Each structure stands twice: as C-alpha cells, then as structure tokens.
Amino acid sequence: MSGLVTPLARPSAPPINARRLALEVLTQVEEQRAYASLLLDARLQKARLSQQDRALATELAYGVLRWQGRLDYLLAAVTDRPWERVDPILRRLLRLGAYQLLFLTRIPAYAAVNETVALTQDAMRSPVKRDAKAFVNAILRRLLERHSSIPFPDPSSDPVGALAARWSHPSWLVARWLARLGPAETETLLKANNDIPTLSVVVNRLKSRPDEVRARLAGITRSVTPGRFVPGVLHLQDGAEALRDQAFADGWYFPMDEAAALPVLLLDPQPGNIVLDACAGGGGKTALILGQLAGSGRVITLDPNARAHRRLREARARLGLDRVMPVQADARQASRLFTRSVDRALVDAPCSGLGTLRRHPERKWQQQEAGLAALARLQLELLHGVAPLLKPGGVLVYSTCSLEPEETDVVVKTFLRDFPEFAADNAPGSLPATVAELIDSQGALRTWPHRHGLDGFYAIRLRRGDR
C-alpha cells in the first residue's frame, strides 16, 4: 500500500435540530431573499424532527422575522459596538437567542443562552469560534439582565421611531402609514401584522363539498370556523395536521387566505367563459375559477416562473384542474401570444406583499420603499399586456396583496387613462352582502388585517366597453 495517500475524512455536519434549522432558514431568507414559508416547508419535509421540534423550528423562524425590529433595537442597546457592524451571522444568532429569552417563556433562560452559544460553535468559522461564543454569551446575558429597563423612543418626539421599534416594522413603512392613517390606527395595524394567523383553507368544489370537508377537518383540528366573506373558506385552529391529511393529498381543499379568494368572487366567471388567469402562481385561484365555471368553459394560466409552473402542474393533478391550458409565459406578452379573445381576465399581480405581513413577515425587511415604483411599472405593463385580449363587454379584475397607493389606485388610474375603453364596473349581484360592504365609493375592494382579520388586499373590477 506504499505510495498511496489516505484522504482525510470530511467532518460530518452537525445533526439538524430545531434551532439549527431555524437559523439556516433565517440565513437563506436574509442572504437569498427567499420566501420563508416555502423554504421552511421544504426543510421540514427533509428533516427528521419530532412534531415538537417541527413546531419549535417554525416558531423560531417566524418569531424572529416578526419581531426582528424590536430584537435589533434591544440588542443594539446592550452591544458595545454599532449593531450594523456586528457580523451578520452573529446578528442572526443573537436574534434567535433573544427571541427565546424575551418571547418563549416556556424555554428556561439558561437553555436559551446555552443552546445559542452551542449553535455559535457550529455556525462560525474555526478562527473566530472562541471569541464569537464569548460575545454571544455576554450579549445574551446582558440582555436578560437589562431588557426591562431599556426605554423605547418617546412617541411625542419620535413617533415613527417609537412605533417602529416597539412593533417591529421598518421606519419608512411606519412613516407612510402614519401619514395616511394617523397614530392610533397605525399602531393597531402594526399590532395586527404581528398576529399569528390561523390556517385558512378553501374547499375544492371540483373534488368535494363544504359539509364533508368541514366534517373531515373537525376530526383533525381543534376548531373549524367558516369564513365571513367567501363561501367554502374554513379557518382552522391548530391546523398543521390538515396539510398532512389524506384529504389534502386527494385535493379536497387547499390553503389560501380568505382575502386572496375575493378577487375571484369579483371576477364572477360564468359557465362557458374563457378565462385568463394571468399571474397564476400555484393554481389556487385557478381552482376557484374552475369551480365557478361548473364544468363548462376553460382557464388559460400564465406564469413565467418555472417553480410556479411546477407547483401548478402538481396542483393540476391533485386538485383535478382538467379544463386548464397552462402556458409558461409572461403576461406582459399575452396579447402577442394569443389571437383568441377572452371573456374574463384576472391579473393578480406580483407586488410588495405588504398586506400579507402576518403570513410573510420577511417582506417588511426585504422590500424597500424605492422598489415600489418598479413594481408599479411591472403591474401596469401586465395590464397593458392583458387588456387587448378582453372581448367587448369583457371583465378584467386587477388585484394586489398590497396596501400602498402606488400599487393600487395609482396603477388603475394610469391604466384607465391609457385604455379609455375600460371603466370601473359595478360589483356583480351574486356577491355576498359581507363582500359588497368591502367595496368603496371608487369601486375598489379593500381588506385590512386590523379591520377585517384578513390579509391586506386590493381588487377592482373593470369592464371593456361594448364597442
């Protein structure tokens, strides 16, 4: 065996646990702007964790993202260097430890500190391990001693800073909402954005009936409550098992916030219609549209994203979406792709997601105010691409999960200037009375987390003239 060199064995990766998984999710969310929900679901599917550890990993990842602003404010107050100069890995470790100390009272303080220090040992590079562990240990112990005496900014002299730090939102967003809503309602909205939402599911009428789905879910979850606005929506308390049940695998229902279903009610597709779902995503809205078509008509789905298209193909098989023509393409090119006109079109446009912070708390740290203008341009371009396909008398619904004027009223105002043959249309008479109450004097439907207990959504129904 002389002359052969035995290679050094690679050190095995530390075993995954709830805290390590949460840290890895937080790292990818920050460094790659990943969606926390998709990433966490994917990681949990691969990790062999107990149900208790799965719940802890979920709590840690979402909890840190929800409360990152407050955690950073308090940690900066006990750190002996500018917070922005602390290594990003250490910032994430400290947030993870601080969240356990300040929000998870069932975890003893010593365990929160010790487990975070142990995680630091694995997360940091060898040359700085010892100093990093000592730093994390010192800061977390200092925070434990002093956090109750750290003052928040004075609302009378710094209203933006006070709300931003206390309720964990970026200052630019707080300033915008203060100017539009005033201090009392802004604070109520900020609080609502930090609530943990219930899981909402929509009955897939292509596969099942609301009564049988509700009976099935009643045996899985703590409680099942019908939605206030959309028939077939069910709100589940402790509903995680519902997404692992065979009925879910068989396509009886799918997860969706009740507000996200409202644009389809506004669209009001009729049997026999050809409907364009211009930004189809994972297929939930397509299933709702098909349910209203009652086996007659067809849906054309567009989405340029390969991952969304894979999810749509999976949903098509699971949910029974037979009358669908999926096309991987950009809706901005829709009028060039198709020669046949459509009766209805839904443009549920990509947006900032600032109405969905309860479910996607990472969006408030990823989205910058300067980026709203670029999103508004994209949204208008999507409308320009789709509008020529509408038949005379056809209906176009534009919607976003945003509360910001740039992505809602301003886009629609510009579109109506560019396409004068379109006008805001009356809500369909089939709308439930509770939904009709959400429509304002401009014909726009709006939901707010603090007013309605739903994600923040905007939708408006536009009709093309008969000539």
Percent of the chain topping pLDDT 70? 96
Q: Which of 39, 401, 444, 459 is catalytic?
A: 401
The pLDDT of residue 321 is 85
Tens digits of residue pLDDT in 283-341: 899 999 998 998 889 999 999 888 878 888 888 888 888 889 999 999 999 999 998 99
pLDDT tier for residue 227 given thresholds of 50, 70 and 90: very high
Number of helical H runs and strand E runs in the chain: 19, 12
- Token code pair at residue 315: 């949903």
CA 155/CA 167 separation, integer angstroms: 13
User: What is the DSSP secondary structure assignment for residue 426, as one 8-state letter?
Assistant: P
Q: What is the mean pLDDT of the chain?
A: 92
The pLDDT of residue 21 is 97
- Token code pair at residue 130: 């010892």
CA 313/CA 311 separation, integer angstroms: 5
pLDDT tier for residue 7 given thresholds of 50, 70 and 90: very low
Question: Residue 8: pLDDT above 70?
Answer: no
Helix, coil or strand: residue 459: strand
| Phi, psi angle pair for 302, to nearest 5° | -125, 140
pLDDT tier for residue 241 given thresholds of 50, 70 and 90: confident
Catalytic, 401? Answer yes
Question: What average pLDDT does the segment 365-373 reach?
Answer: 97
Question: What average pLDDT does the segment 237-252 reach?
Answer: 91
pLDDT tier for residue 445 given thresholds of 50, 70 and 90: very high
Tens digits of residue pLDDT in 113-165: 999 999 998 887 655 667 899 999 999 999 999 999 999 999 999 999 999 99
pLDDT tier for residue 194 given thresholds of 50, 70 and 90: very high
pLDDT tier for residue 402 given thresholds of 50, 70 and 90: very high
Prediction pTM value? 0.93
- Of the candidates 253, 165, 239, 173, which has an alpha carbon nearest to the alpha carbon of residue 209? 253
Neighbours of 336 (CB within 10 A): 10
The pLDDT of residue 10 is 42
Question: Residue 184: pLDDT above 80?
Answer: yes
The pLDDT of residue 443 is 92
The distance from CA 62 to its chain's CA centroid, rounded to whole angstroms, is: 11
CA 288/CA 455 separation, integer angstroms: 18
The pLDDT of residue 313 is 82
Residue pointed to by tokens 């930004």: 279
- Token code pair at residue 108: 């003893």
Question: Residue 31: pLDDT above 50?
Answer: yes
Question: Residue 217: pLDDT above 70?
Answer: yes
The pLDDT of residue 97 is 98
227: Cβ contacts below 8 Å, ≥ 6 apart? 200, 233, 234, 235, 258
pLDDT tier for residue 282 given thresholds of 50, 70 and 90: confident
Question: Residue 245: pLDDT above 70?
Answer: yes
The pLDDT of residue 314 is 84
The pLDDT of residue 12 is 52
Domains in the chain, CATH or no CATH each:
18-149 (1.10.940.10), 258-464 (3.40.50.150)
Exposure letters 192-203 (e unless 16+ CB within 10 A, then b): bbbeeebbbbbb
- Of the candidates 180, 260, 313, which has an alpha carbon nearest to the alpha carbon of residue 452? 260
Question: Residue 464: pLDDT above 90?
Answer: yes
CA 325/CA 300 separation, integer angstroms: 5
